[in-house]
Amino acid sequence: MPSGDRRRVVVTGIGLITPLGASVEKTWRGLIEGKSGIGPITRFDPAGLDTQIAGEVKDFDPLDYMDRKEVRRADRFAQFAVAAAGQALRDAKLEVTPDLAPRAGAAFGSGIGGVETLVDNIISHDKDPKRVSPFLIPMMIIDMAAGEVAMKYGLKGPNMAHVSACASSANSIGEAAEMIRRDEADVMVAGGAEAGLIKVAIGAFNQARAISTRNDAPEKASRPFDKDRDGFVFSEGAGCLILEELEFARSRGARILGEFVGYGLSADAYHVTAPPPGAEGAVRAMRMAIDDAGMRAEDIGYVNAHGTSTQANDGAETAALKTVFGDRAHQVPISSTKSMTGHTLGAAGAIEAAICLLAMREGCLPPTINQEVADPECDLDYIPNRARKANVSVALSNSMGFGGHNVALVLRRDVA
- Within a domain: 120: yes
What is the Cα–Cα distance from 167 to 264, expressed in whole angstroms? 12
What is the Cα–Cα distance from 350 to 145, expressed in whole angstroms? 14
- Same structural domain, 97 and 131: yes
- Same structural domain, 217 and 306: no
- Within a domain: 281: yes
- Same structural domain, 139 and 96: yes
* Burial (Cβ within 10 Å: 0-12, 13-18, ≥19) of residue 361: middle
Q: Which residues contact 244 (CB under 8 A, 6 or more apart)?
A: 9, 10, 11, 12, 92, 94, 180, 186, 187, 188, 254
Which among 251, 283, 315 is the end of a domain?
251
pTM above 0.85, yes or no: yes
- Same structural domain, 69 and 139: yes
- Same structural domain, 220 and 187: yes
- Phi/psi at 360 (nearest 5 deg)? -70, -40
User: What angle do the packed helices 311-325 and 280-292 form, to 10 degrees?
Assistant: 50
- Same structural domain, 19 and 156: yes
> In the prediction, which pLDDT does 125 show?
87
Q: Which has the closest alpha carbon to 171: 153, 189, 197, 192?
A: 192
DSSP-derived letter for residue 379 is -
User: What angle do the packed helices 76-92 and 144-153 form, to 10 degrees?
Assistant: 40
What is the Cα–Cα distance from 155 to 188, expressed in whole angstroms? 9
Cα dist from 134 to 107, 115, 137, whole Å:
26, 16, 8
> In the prediction, which pLDDT does 3 show?
54
- Within a domain: 3: no
Q: What percent of the chain has pLDDT over 70?
A: 99
Statement: residue 185 has pLDDT above 70? yes
CATH number for the domain spanning 279: value is 3.40.47.10
Paired with 389 in beta bridges are: 364
- How do residues 19-76 score in pLDDT, each as one tens digit? 999 999 999 999 999 999 999 999 999 999 999 999 999 999 999 999 999 999 999 9
> In the prediction, which pLDDT does 131 show?
87
Paired with 335 in beta bridges are: 304
- Phi/psi at 33 (nearest 5 deg)? -90, -5
Paired with 259 in beta bridges are: 10, 412
- Within a domain: 282: yes
- Within a domain: 1: no
User: Kind of pairing, strands 394-401 and 302-304?
Assistant: parallel
- Same structural domain, 218 and 355: no
Q: What percent of the chain has pLDDT over 90?
A: 96
What is the Cα–Cα distance from 78 to 123, expressed in whole angstroms? 21
Q: Which has the closest alpha carbon to 410: 343, 337, 344, 356?
A: 356
DSSP one-letter string for 141-185: STTHHHHHHHHHHT--S-EEEE-BTBTHHHHHHHHHHHHHHTTS-
What is the Cα–Cα distance from 29 to 340, expressed in whole angstroms? 11
Check if 343 is active-site.
yes
- Within a domain: 256: no
DSSP one-letter string for 351-376: HHHHHHHHHHHHTEEPPBTT--S-BT
Check if 378 is active-site.
no
- Within a domain: 176: yes
What is the Cα–Cα distance from 351 to 355, expressed in whole angstroms? 6
Domain that holds residue 377: 262-412
Given 166, 240, 356, 378, which residue is catalytic? 166
* Burial (Cβ within 10 Å: 0-12, 13-18, ≥19) of residue 130: exposed
Mean pLDDT, all residues of the chain: 97
Instruction: Please give the tally of structural domains in the chain.
Output: 2
- Same structural domain, 368 and 278: yes
CB atoms closer than 10 angstroms to residue 28 = 23
Q: Which has the closest alpha carbon to 152: 46, 15, 350, 297?
A: 15
> In the prediction, which pLDDT does 126 show?
85
Given 125, 162, 271, 343, which residue is catalytic? 343
Do 315 and 377 form a contact (C-beta atoms < 8 A)? yes
Check if 125 is active-site.
no
Given 306, 356, 378, 405, which residue is catalytic? 306
With cut-offs at 50, 70 and 90, classify the pLDDT of residue 277: confident
- Same structural domain, 384 and 338: yes
- Same structural domain, 236 and 274: no
Q: Cα 125 from chain centroid?
A: 33
Which among 189, 217, 251 is the end of a domain?
251
- Same structural domain, 293 and 237: no
With cut-offs at 50, 70 and 90, classify the pLDDT of residue 128: confident
- Within a domain: 43: yes
Which among 251, 277, 309 is the end of a domain?
251
- Same structural domain, 301 and 247: no
